[in-house]
Chain A
Amino acid sequence: MTQAVTTQHHEPVENTSTGLNSRKLLMWAFLGSDVMFFGAFIATYLVYRGKSLVGPYPDEILNIPVTSVSTFVLLMSSLAMVLGLHYVKEGNRGKATLWILMVVVLGAVFMGFQFVEFREFAHEGLTPRTNIFGTTFFILTGIHGAHVTIGVIWMAFLAYSSHTGKLRPDNALDLEIAGLYWHFVDIVWIVIFTVIYLISATDGAPAGVERVIHG
């Protein structure tokens, strides 16, 4: 059981053994475990990078300009998230709801980009079963997409709470914890965009393997 008291700076001090809010500490611990989770999948992608024996290969299929736009969208959703939290703490319900809704919209747009990308890849002949690139790519980006989906649903509930006045400065921690999750999803994508897209986009068939033209 924890209790919160307010100091002269209006910051709550939790009556726990650490002096910290247990839910927030739990979220940080969860994010720490998720770092290892994603780290394992990114390492697996890198281990099998350039080892697909059949195409399509990354240089035939990855679309950097389109993914750059979706990356920008996700980055801006993080900005919207932090502004939403700021206005909740300030007690400005209208602006808070607007920015949290913006997070939902931008997150949904990112998911839309990913859906279109996956459909395009399937159309080009790349599925999780096509080659080792497809397997490692779809598992990594798919799990990230699942995280984004959970985040969007969570944010939609919080946007509704803000709209109805249930999300107030005194329980802004609910949004702060959700925000930590959302920003984490963003930083994972920062790494994925660099490693999977920008660094691997020129990978073709391995030496000694004949490239088959798809179409």
Chain B
Amino acid sequence: MANLWQKFTKYDGNGWWNLPHSASNDPNPPHENPIGGSWLSNIIRTVTHGGVSHAGPGFYWLVGLFLAIITLLEVWLFGVEGLGGWYIPILLGLSALKFVGVVAFFMHLRFDHRMFTYVFASSMIVGILIFSILLFLLEFGHQPPN
């Protein structure tokens, strides 16, 4: 059983987590990020960048299964009554999990050069800012003066 699991989750004799460093990582010094070597930067690095090459098919199937289960969970939650104010935050959280799953593993951001993460993450931050400002302005910008 353990062998079957190893065969399924590993590729070419390497664990998907321990594949050789991508050559494109070489110009990037270790621990180089805006926050430095703090515990927070370690978490960010772990989540956004593994410093490893791409994984095998078994791992991708696992990620696909994970995404399918979350989608099922979302649809099931839609029919659950009594969640009240928790409904929207839970759905947004599950949606964010799927988002990160696809971006990190299917788009290989987890395994790719950190520069791609910076480009996409900075756009996401600007996008969320535009989103928030637009919501704020259009929601409160038309209030008649008292």
Contact B123 A33 (CB under 8 A): yes
Asked, given contacts A42-B131, A187-B99, A198-B91, whether A75 binds B68 with beta carbons under 8 Å apart, the answer is yes
Q: Does B116 interact with chain A (Cβ within 8 Å)? A: yes
Contact B106 A29 (CB under 8 A): no
User: How far is A20 from B24 in the complex, measured between Cα atoms in Å?
Assistant: 7
Asked, given contacts A20-B113, A32-B123, A194-B74, whether A39 binds B102 with beta carbons under 8 Å apart, the answer is no
Q: Does A43 interact with chain B (Cβ within 8 Å)? A: yes
Contact B120 A28 (CB under 8 A): yes
B130 interface neighbour in A18, A40, A46, A71, Cβ under 8 Å: A40
**Would you list which residues of chain B between 67 and 124 have a CB under 8 Å from chain A?**
67-68, 71, 74-75, 77-78, 87-88, 91-92, 94-95, 98-99, 102-103, 105-108, 113, 115-116, 119-120, 122-124
Asked, given contacts A180-B107, A190-B102, A199-B91, whether A35 binds B124 with beta carbons under 8 Å apart, the answer is yes
Chain B residues near A179 (CB-CB < 8 A): 106-107
Q: Distance (Å) between the CB of A172 and the closest chain B CB?
A: 11
Contact B57 A11 (CB under 8 A): no
Contact B116 A36 (CB under 8 A): no
A32 interface neighbour in B57, B88, B120, Cβ under 8 Å: B120
A26 nearest CB neighbor, chain B only: B119
Chain A residues near B87 (CB-CB < 8 A): 199
Q: Does B37 interact with chain A (Cβ within 8 Å)? A: no
Q: Does A191 interact with chain B (Cβ within 8 Å)? A: yes
B22 interface neighbour in A9, A18, A71, A79, Cβ under 8 Å: A9
Q: Does B60 interact with chain A (Cβ within 8 Å)? A: yes
Contact A43 B130 (CB under 8 A): yes
Q: How many residues of B contact A (CB 8 A)?
A: 53
User: How far is A13 from B102 in the complex, measured between Cα atoms in Å?
Assistant: 25
Could you mark each residue 164-201 of chain A with 1 if its beta carbon is under 8 Å from any beta carbon of chain B, else 0? 00000000000010011001101100110110001101
B119 nearest CB neighbor, chain A only: A28
B95 interface neighbour in A68, A81, A190, Cβ under 8 Å: A190
Q: Does A160 interact with chain B (Cβ within 8 Å)? A: no
Could you mark each residue 82-95 of chain A with 1 if its beta carbon is under 8 Å from any beta carbon of chain B, else 0? 11001001000000
Could you mark each residue 40-53 of chain B with 1 if its beta carbon is under 8 Å from any beta carbon of chain A, else 0? 00000000000001
Q: How many residues of A contact B (CB 8 A)?
A: 54
Contact A82 B106 (CB under 8 A): yes
A29 interface neighbour in B22, B74, B77, B119, Cβ under 8 Å: B119
Asked, given contacts A11-B23, A31-B120, A64-B78, whether A82 binds B103 with beta carbons under 8 Å apart, the answer is no
User: How far is A43 from B23 in the complex, measured between Cα atoms in Å?
Assistant: 40
Contact B130 A198 (CB under 8 A): no
Chain A residues near B108 (CB-CB < 8 A): 176
B56 nearest CB neighbor, chain A only: A86
Q: Does A125 interact with chain B (Cβ within 8 Å)? A: no
Q: Distance (Å) between the CB of A97 and the closest chain B CB?
A: 16
- The 9 residue pairs across chains A and B that have the minimum distance between CB atoms: A32-B123, A79-B64, A11-B23, A194-B95, A7-B23, A39-B127, A35-B127, A47-B138, A43-B134
- Other A-B contacts than A35-B127, A64-B78, A179-B107, 13 sampled, CB-CB below 8 A, are A9-B21, A11-B23, A29-B123, A32-B120, A39-B131, A47-B138, A68-B71, A81-B106, A82-B106, A186-B106, A193-B74, A194-B94, A201-B78
In the assembled complex, 10 residue pairs joining A and B whose CB atoms fall closer than 8 Å, in A order, are A32-B120, A32-B124, A35-B124, A43-B134, A44-B134, A75-B98, A81-B106, A187-B102, A191-B95, A194-B92
